[in-house]
Amino acid sequence: MSDSASYDPNADTVIYAVSEGIATITMDRPGYHNAQNGKMTYELDAAFRRAVADDEVKVIVLAGNGKHFSAGHDIGTPGRDVHLSQERAGMWYDHANKPGGEFLYVREAEAYLGMCRRWREIPKPTIAAVQGACIAGGLMLAWVCDLIVATDDAFFSDPVVRMGIPGVEYFAHPFEMPPRIAKEFLFTGDKMSAERAYQVGMVNRLSTRETLHDDVKALAAKIATQPRLGLALTKQAVNHVEDLQGKRTGMDAAFAWHHFSHAHNDLVTGDKLSGFDAKKMAKHNRAGDKS
Ligand code: ZN
């Protein structure tokens, strides 16, 4: 784990590469387990835009450099930048100078719910290549992708109920797994193994650390032989059916409940995350594992 002394706030957080019609977007904060700060969020958005605009790109892969895919939103590294203004990608105003509940509501409507929805609607197939941890905000990044390939040692969890919050901002849980399993996943905050995630249909294919890159590349190459518009329309059709089933409207309601809990936490504890940072979350999750 890097420390604040060696932290470079200007370092790129995302690597972009194109080869044989496949764009690979790699989160690159391995020293912080690819914790997603604002800088990374906007660099991911720029990379997705670049891949969409490039006619040579047929399929987009989202990967994480290092031991873990993503430890989630940045709630504790020296690069945590939730307080900073960003060059916004959606139609929200700046959050940084806003009071009370408005600060985080505007920020998360823009950078989490808004951004994730846009990424889900990218008109090209996307594949998440997941190894190690895929926690909370990390789930959102994997879930916006059309397909997920995970290593056998990957795991998924959303422990934010510990903060009194009903799941991460992009509330796709009851669509990613059966509702009863989603409740167990959230109520316990337990890690779901890649094998279990495969069984419930969240993960398309299992791989290993050694084969992940090649397996994802082979899958992407196969999809890349299909016609561009056929892929775009197919994706729209499936996403549309999910929205008819309530995915979009369900998420709108969950986002409001999510922000009621942020505001409640602030009123009761003086902190929107109920006093939890990355360290405290990890400590509680470890204790929970033992019980
Ligand atoms: Zn939130």
CATH classification at residue 247: 3.90.226.10
Which parts of the chain register pLDDT below 50? 1-2, 290-291
Pairing of strands 14-19, 22-27: antiparallel
Q: What is the rounded distance in angstroms from the CA atom of residue 174 to the CA atom of residue 154?
A: 20
pLDDT of residue 89: 86
Q: Which residues pair with 18 in a beta bridge?
A: 23
Q: Using an 8 Å Cβ cutoff, are 138 and 36 in contact? A: yes
What distance in angstroms lies between residue 282's CA and the mean position of ligand 1's atoms?
18
One DSSP character per residue, 196-243 reads: HHHHTTS-SEEE-TTTHHHHHHHHHHHHHTS-HHHHHHHHHHHHHHHH
Each residue's pLDDT tens digit, 24-36:
999 999 999 999 8
Q: What is the pLDDT of residue 48?
A: 98
Res 283: pLDDT: 82
Looking at residue 280, what is its pLDDT? 85
Domain containing residue 193: 4-290
CA of 139 to the centre of ligand 1 (A): 14
Between the alpha carbon of residue 29 and those of residues 5, 39, 71, 119, the distances in Å are 15, 11, 10, 20
Alpha-carbon torsion angle 60, 116, 132, 66, nearest 10: 60
CA–CA gap between residue 98 and residue 176 (Å, rounded): 34
Domain count, the chain: 1
- Residue 18 Cα to ligand 1 midpoint, Å, equals 33
Contact (CB, 8 A) for 220 and 18: no
State the distance from the centre of ligand 1 to the C-alpha of 111, rounded, in angstroms.
Answer: 10
Residues in the chain: 291
- Residue 26 is predicted with a pLDDT of 98
Cβ atoms within 10 A of the Cβ of 192, count? 23
Stated as kind and residue range, the H or E segment containing 249 is helix 247-269
- Give the distance (Å) from ligand 1 centre to CA of residue 168: 7
| pLDDT of the residue at 5 | 57
Predicted local distance difference test score (pLDDT) of residue 291 = 37
CB neighbours (10 Å) of residue 71?
27
Instruction: Output the six-digit token pair for 20.
Output: 């044989």
- Give residue 275 CA to ligand 1 midpoint distance, Å: 13
Q: What is the pLDDT of residue 285?
A: 72
**Ligand 1 centroid distance, CA of 165 (Å):** 8
Q: Identify the pLDDT of residue 290.
A: 43
Distance from residue 259's CA to the centre of ligand 1 (Å): 7
Instruction: For the beta carbon of residue 279, count every other beta carbon within 10 angstroms.
Output: 10
Ligand 1 centroid to residue 101 C-alpha, Å: 11
Cα 268 to middle of ligand 1, angstroms: 16
Q: How far is the CA of 140 from the centre of ligand 1 (A)?
A: 12
Residue 207: name the closest of 128, 143, 137 by CA.
128
- The residue assigned the tokens 């906007």 is 42
Q: For the whole model, what pTM was predicted?
A: 0.94
Q: How many angstroms does the Cα of residue 124 sit away from the middle of ligand 1?
A: 28
Compute the distance from residue 262 Cα to the ligand 1 centre, in Å. 7
